[in-house]
Structure 1
């Protein structure tokens, strides 16, 4: 597809007047209370619906990949770039999408501190937030209808988690992240 990543820089659409820009991930400003990064590898109609729905709900939407550029973008980069925005605190949560949702979720989970969950219904989304403290929602463009998308978004944003009974498991995930950031031999 010809797109190349520039280390330390992201191509996103958001902020003033929705312009596409390349920025140092750490320098992106916060524009509103709840910021959501949404990225997909293709210009799926359901991705466009999600953008409209998120904005209708009052969220600031930062676009990554095909929605930002108007052309296909590699799914590994979509997952990675949205995940970086979440991990660096530029946005509060992320939504990634490819045909199955699997590839972008795998790519997003390569970023330490990110817990991306592929959700096919509202129960999965609720559980991912409660039991896994998921911070990136992965979706399948193939399976998602507008009605199902609304149900999943409702569950994702209405669930206040994580469940206190899962605290130890979530802390273990954080320890695993830290171990990957600083391998035993490098300490």
Structure 2
């Protein structure tokens, strides 16, 4: 699985995230501060990572900024992206299950190494719900992208 990863600063778990994804066997596509030839500004590097998902170059993305809020907002501006800002494993699991989120947003300030592992476990171990109502909600979001 290809995971696009962006970070706007080399703080917190930015480098640990890349290492952990690699350790888990994922191919990482780096952006922002993780790719020296690119701009590290949060809106730009997040958009690039989110477009990787929307355009099929990556299966999912993890986008990071100091609070995670800007990265979440920027990613959700890209049609076809459903980004979720997650600070714990329960939220990550719910985002995957009920929202079929395809972009994980993380706070570089709040995410500890232990919490990072728990969030990634929950994110990658959870599949989208097949419940009719949940699927109907996801389809509705796709129509909003077209509006």
TM-score (norm 1): 0.75
- Report the alpha carbon displacement of residue 120 of structure 1 after superposing the two structures with TM: 0.5
Partner in structure 1 of residue 17 of structure 2: 50
Flag the structure with more relative contact order, 1 or 2, with Cα contacts below 8 A and sequence separation at least 6: 2
Could you tell me which residue of structure 1 aligns to residue 145 of structure 2? 177
CA RMSD of aligned residues (A): 1.4
Contact kept, 8 Å, 1:40 with 1:96, in 2: the verdict is yes
Higher radius of gyration, 1 or 2: 1
Q: For structure 1, which runs of at least 5 residues remain unmatched after alignment? A: 1-33, 180-187
Consecutive aligned runs of 4 or more in structure 1 exceeding 6 Å deviation: none
Structure-1 separation of matches of 2:127 and 2:57: 20
Q: 1:84 to 1:72 in 2, by over 3 A?
A: closer
Residue 168 of structure 1: which of 128, 136, 142 is its match? 136
CA distance in 2, matches of 1:120, 1:162: 21
Give the total of aligned pairs: 146
Q: Distance in 2 between matches of 1:62 and 1:48?
A: 13
> Normalising to structure 2: TM-score of the pair?
0.95
> What is the rounded CA distance, in whole Å, between the counterparts of 2:110 and 2:39 in structure 1?
19
102-111 vs 158-167, which deviates more? Answer: 158-167
How far is the alpha carbon of 1:71 from its aligned partner?
Answer: 8.4
